């Protein structure tokens, strides 16, 4: 038991590592903000294209969405970070991570938006168009508000996935939370900094996971 | 031309194709093991939860929440680097299988449990009224309906979790990404990374297409 | 009829969905202030004809005129302006669930017609008053009965000052006791001089309020005339059969 505590819950080591980890957490937050905002926006645009009547726009988006849902995000990241330099495109870790995760996440957010938009009855669009609203006005005022409300739990759960995803940035030496914790582990030969990182992730994500469960249960009961 | 030379070099492809194919089997094998363990345990936990034992349910909920909230890479690093210090060395493959199965178990449990709570009370009453025990009603009447309702989100979650086998590269599992990464540094060419991306597409694009099919086939309109 | 100007004119209208020809050769004229009633068996193309009149459905050939202007060949980007002149009421109401009743009636006034918010609100309240639902202005559609929702949908369309109102089975989705309130609103509209083309099975309403009844079957207008004529002295076998079927179910 003592050995277990010393390996995973060494308070002294945790306290020493905390400043480093908090600095990493700030990078994680920045990363999340950029990826989530870009992902939401890109996902919405993709979803609208994927639902547009014009063939090439639609197929381009549908293929994009399926492609980036099929490739593991870490593979995208390694490709962007280590592969693109061969083509003369050298990216800083932060940019590489943002680009790779944007490709992955915009595809996921697009799927969520698409499902939401598809679930809005066709009569809503027809009624709006019959009163002279343009296709864009119809989308903005009539279709999107209920569509987004319907998929709010999925958007939230995707957001949780983004935060978890950013931990992969440690693989390309971006000093975010997990990278900092792993540095501290290798310096101290002790897993406690990793456990501390886990606790920090839990502090932010556990409440969100609870909310998602509640919300989905509420919908299911309805 | 230089682009082709960099990302689709035939000589490099020829040289590393056997390695990548061998690695594909490792990925597939890990994925299948994860899916079998995760789905079965998830269904099992959901059934146990239906028995309504307070302290047991509390443990299930905490497990499911933590596994859904923590980035899997954190767990992988903790197990891989921490366990040897408490005298339990796990091979990299076992660590990946353990972590991914646990994550999938957590999500599957939530999905099945959500389905079980959405089965109308009348179904339970009908089951009991026709002489089934509570357990029989659960297994023969409620669970099949819950599974059916849960299939679309479950398929998506299986896809997301099995793609995480790429995390094996971080601790040296000889799956696609790690084989491609080392091939890339040996050959000084980005081609192995392209091969990795294509290998993942070969495995996962059918899964993505299947997920669309399953969504159309099984989604209950609310 | 003091006025004889045609407000809605349909000439040789044809509509095909792929191979199936739904409207074969429709000619129909609705004069200003007239209420024309369309009956016919399900699948005879009534909805499709109405939906061609505001180009929710694209006619395959033929011409449609609204207030003398040919709407069948205006370009797609000008459709929105044309649709302001043609109000439509659907069987399923289709109110926007995320907006209050007031906002439902205001939206197109502001966004499509370009009225100011204040002007649109005043007009919306006036319209809601006319359909007897001013007190529900701040309610959500889900808090209203079907009959109330349909009256709001009528207010939403009429608030745009259309030249013609199209009704596609406006009372078919309603419980019998709620039908009357919607029909009363329609009678009111007619009294105020609105030009109306109504698809419905409410035969009693047709006798009472329609200027003309049109019987459609198999994509053609088979017979038309004043209600007494069409109901009292049907000429074609198909109309006779249809009327006996309908009165049979009404009696049952
Ligand atoms: N979008 C469509 N695609 C194919 N067929 C359609 C479509 N809309 C209507 N139809 C067909 O056209 C026929 C007439 O339909 P409709 O105008 O709705 O008839 P009514 O309103 O008189 O019941 C029906 O046979 C229907 O199946
Ligand atoms: Mg119809």
* Region B46-68 average pLDDT: 95
Instruction: Among the bound ligands, name the one nearest to the CA of residue A122.
Output: 1
* Region A141-148 average pLDDT: 96
Q: Tens digit of pLDDT for each residue in B60-116?
A: 999 999 999 999 999 999 999 999 888 888 999 999 999 999 999 999 999 999 999
CA angle A70, A73, A76 (to 5 degrees): 90
Residues 175-214 of B with CB under 8 A from A: 176-177, 181, 184, 189-190, 193-194, 196-197, 200-201, 204-205, 207-209
The model's confidence at residue B221, banded by pLDDT at 50, 70 and 90, is very low
DSSP C59: -
Instruction: Among the bound ligands, name the one nearest to the CA of residue C48.
Output: 1
Cβ(A43)–Cβ(A113) under 8 Å? yes
Q: For residue B220, is pLDDT > 70?
A: no
Cβ(A216)–Cβ(B117) under 8 Å? no
* Region A43-57 average pLDDT: 89
Mean pLDDT of chain B: 91
* Region B136-156 average pLDDT: 88
How many independent structural domains does chain A possess?
A: 1
Quote the longest CA-to-CA distance of chain A: 73
* Region A47-65 average pLDDT: 89
Cβ(C167)–Cβ(C89) under 8 Å? yes
What is the ipTM for the molecules in this complex?
0.91
- Give the H/E segment covering residue C181: helix C176-191
Mean pLDDT of chain A: 92
Cα–Cα distance, C172 to C201 (Å, whole number): 8
Specify the pLDDT at position C1. 47
Nearest to B70 among A84, A201, A217 (CB): A201
Cβ(A137)–Cβ(A84) under 8 Å? no
CATH of range B2-217; options 1.10.3720.10, 3.90.1170.40, 3.30.9.10, 1.10.10.1200: 1.10.3720.10
Q: For residue A4, is pLDDT > 90?
A: no
| Centre of ligand 2 from the C-alpha of residue C146, in Å | 18
Specify the pLDDT at position A222. 42
Count Cβ atoms below 10 Å from residue B62 Cβ, excluding itself. Answer: 11
Cα–Cα distance, A144 to A117 (Å, whole number): 7
Cα–Cα distance, C38 to C221 (Å, whole number): 9
Cα–Cα distance, A168 to A81 (Å, whole number): 12
* Region B29-35 average pLDDT: 96
Of C94 and A88, the one with more pLDDT: C94
Specify the pLDDT at position B149. 86
A199 CA to chain B: closest CA distance, Å?
9
- Give A-chain residues touching B145 at CB under 8 angstroms: none
With H, G, I as helix, E, B as strand and everything else as coil, classify residue C250: helix
Q: For residue A33, is pLDDT > 90?
A: yes
Query: In the numeric block, which tokens belong to residue C25?
Result: 């050769």
Cβ(B124)–Cβ(B132) under 8 Å? no
C71 CA to chain A: closest CA distance, Å?
14
Phi, psi of C56 (to 5 degrees): -70, -25
Cα–Cα distance, B193 to B218 (Å, whole number): 36
Specify the pLDDT at position C248. 60
Positions of chain C with pLDDT lower than 70, given as ranges? 1-3, 248-252
Cα–Cα distance, C179 to C148 (Å, whole number): 10
Cβ(A102)–Cβ(A42) under 8 Å? yes
Residues 17-56 of B with CB under 8 A from A: none
Specify the pLDDT at position C3. 54
The model's confidence at residue B124, banded by pLDDT at 50, 70 and 90, is confident
List of E strands, chain B: none
Q: Do chains B and A touch, with touching meaning 3 or more CB–CB pairs less than 8 Å apart?
A: yes
A79 and B197: CB-CB below 8 Å?
Answer: yes
CA angle A115, A120, A123 (to 5 degrees): 145
Cα–Cα distance, C204 to C209 (Å, whole number): 9
Specify the pLDDT at position B217. 81
Cα–Cα distance, B16 to B26 (Å, whole number): 16
Instruction: Among the bound ligands, name the one nearest to the CA of residue C214.
Output: 1
First to last CA, chain B: 53
Of the listed ranges A49-63, B161-175, C93-107, C146-160, the least confidently predicted one is A49-63
Specify the pLDDT at position C249. 56
With H, G, I as helix, E, B as strand and everything else as coil, classify residue C62: strand
Count Cβ atoms below 10 Å from residue B212 Cβ, excluding itself. Answer: 14
Ligand 1, residues C48, C166, C169: which to mutate, most atoms within 8 A of Cβ? C48
Sign of the Cα pseudo-torsion (A164, A166, A171, A177, in order) = negative
Radius of gyration of chain C (CA): 18
Ligand 1, residues C22, C55, C57: which to mutate, most atoms within 8 A of Cβ? C22
A127 CA to chain C: closest CA distance, Å?
6
> CB contact, 8 Å: B220 with chain A?
no
- Residue boundaries of the structural domains of chain B: 2-217
Specify the pLDDT at position B222. 37
- Which subunits count as partners of chain B given 3+ CB pairs below 8 Å? A
Phi, psi of C145 (to 5 degrees): -75, 165
| Centre of ligand 2 from the C-alpha of residue C213, in Å | 17
* Region B30-40 average pLDDT: 97
- Residue A10 is part of which domain span? 2-221
| Centre of ligand 1 from the C-alpha of residue C71, in Å | 22
Of B123 and C150, the one with more pLDDT: C150
**Residue A40: CATH number of its domain:** 1.10.3720.10
Query: In the numeric block, which tokens belong to residue A106?
Result: 């915009």
Tell me which residues have their CB closer than 6 angstroms to ligand 1: C 17, 22, 40, 42-48
Nearest to A132 among C96, C97, C160 (CB): C160
């Amino acid at each position: 038991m003592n050995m277990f505590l010393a390996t995973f819950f060494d308070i002294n080591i945790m306290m020493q590592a905390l400043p480093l980890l908090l600095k990493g957490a700030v990078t994680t937050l920045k990363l999340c903000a950029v990826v989530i905002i870009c992902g939401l926006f890109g996902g919405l645009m993709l979803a609208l294209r994927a639902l547009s009547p014009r063939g090439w726009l639609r197929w381009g988006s549908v293929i994009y969405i399926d492609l980036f849902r099929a490739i593991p995000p870490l593979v995208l990241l390694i490709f962007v970070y280590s592969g693109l330099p061969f083509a003369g495109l050298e990216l800083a870790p932060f940019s590489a991570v943002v680009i790779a995760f944007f490709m992955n996440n915009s595809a996921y957010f697009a799927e969520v938006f698409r499902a939401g938009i598809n679930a809005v009855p066709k009569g809503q669009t027809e009624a709006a168009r019959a009163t002279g609203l343009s296709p864009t006005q119809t989308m903005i005022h009539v279709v999107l508000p209920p569509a987004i409300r319907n998929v709010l739990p999925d958007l939230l759960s995707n957001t949780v996935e983004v935060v978890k995803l950013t931990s992969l940035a440690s693989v390309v030496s971006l000093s975010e939370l997990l990278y900092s914790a792993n540095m501290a582990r290798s310096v101290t030969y002790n897993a406690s900094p990793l456990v501390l990182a886990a606790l920090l992730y839990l502090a932010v994500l556990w409440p969100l996971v609870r909310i998602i469960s509640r919300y989905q249960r509420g919908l299911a009961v309805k | 031309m230089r682009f082709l030379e960099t990302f689709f070099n035939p000589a490099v492809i020829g040289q590393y194709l056997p390695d990548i194919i061998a690695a594909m089997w490792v990925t597939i094998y890990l994925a299948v093991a994860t899916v079998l363990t995760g789905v079965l345990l998830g269904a099992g936990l959901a059934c146990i939860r239906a028995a309504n034992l307070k302290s047991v349910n509390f443990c299930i909920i905490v497990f499911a929440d933590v596994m859904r909230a923590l980035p899997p890479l954190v767990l992988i690093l903790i197990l891989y680097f921490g366990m040897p210090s408490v005298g339990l060395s796990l091979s990299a493959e076992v660590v990946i299988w353990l972590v991914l199965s646990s994550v999938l178990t957590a999500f599957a449990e939530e999905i099945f449990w959500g389905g079980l709570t959405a089965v109308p009370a009348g179904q339970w009453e009908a089951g009991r009224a026709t002489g089934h025990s509570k357990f029989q009603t659960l297994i023969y009447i409620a669970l099949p309906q819950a599974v059916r309702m849960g299939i679309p989100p479950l398929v998506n979650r299986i896809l997301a979790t099995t793609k995480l086998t790429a995390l094996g590269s971080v601790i040296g599992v000889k799956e696609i990404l790690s084989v491609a990464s080392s091939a890339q540094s040996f050959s000084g060419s980005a081609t192995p990374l392209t091969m990795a991306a294509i290998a993942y597409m070969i495995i996962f694009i059918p899964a993505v297409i299947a997920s669309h099919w399953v969504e159309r086939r099984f989604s209950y309109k609310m | 009829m003091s006025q004889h100007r045609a407000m809605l004119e349909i000439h040789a209208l044809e509509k095909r969905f792929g191979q199936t020809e739904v409207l074969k050769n429709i000619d129909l004229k609705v004069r200003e202030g007239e209420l024309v009633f369309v009956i016919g068996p399900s699948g005879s193309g009534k909805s499709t004809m109405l939906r061609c009149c505001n180009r929710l459905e694209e006619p395959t050939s033929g011409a449609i005129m609204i207030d003398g202007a040919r709407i069948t060949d205006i370009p797609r980007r000008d459709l929105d302006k044309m649709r302001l002149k043609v109000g439509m009421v659907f069987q399923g109401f289709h109110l926007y669930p995320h907006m209050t009743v007031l906002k439902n009636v205001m939206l197109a006034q502001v966004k499509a017609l370009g009225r100011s918010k204040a002007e649109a609100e005043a007009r919306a309240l006036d319209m809601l008053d006319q359909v007897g639902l001013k007190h529900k202005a701040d309610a959500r559609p889900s808090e209203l009965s079907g009959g109330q929702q349909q009256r709001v949908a009528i207010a939403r369309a009429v608030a745009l000052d259309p030249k013609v109102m199209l009704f596609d089975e406006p009372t078919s989705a309603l419980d019998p006791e709620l039908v009357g309130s919607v029909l009363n609103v329609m009678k009111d509209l007619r009294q105020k001089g609105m030009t109306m083309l109504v698809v419905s099975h409410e035969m009693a309403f047709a006798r009472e309020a329609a200027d003309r009844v049109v019987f459609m079957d198999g994509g053609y207008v088979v017979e038309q005339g004043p209600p007494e004529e069409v109901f009292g002295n049907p000429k074609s076998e198909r109309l006779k059969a249809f009327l006996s079927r309908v009165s049979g179910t009404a009696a049952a």
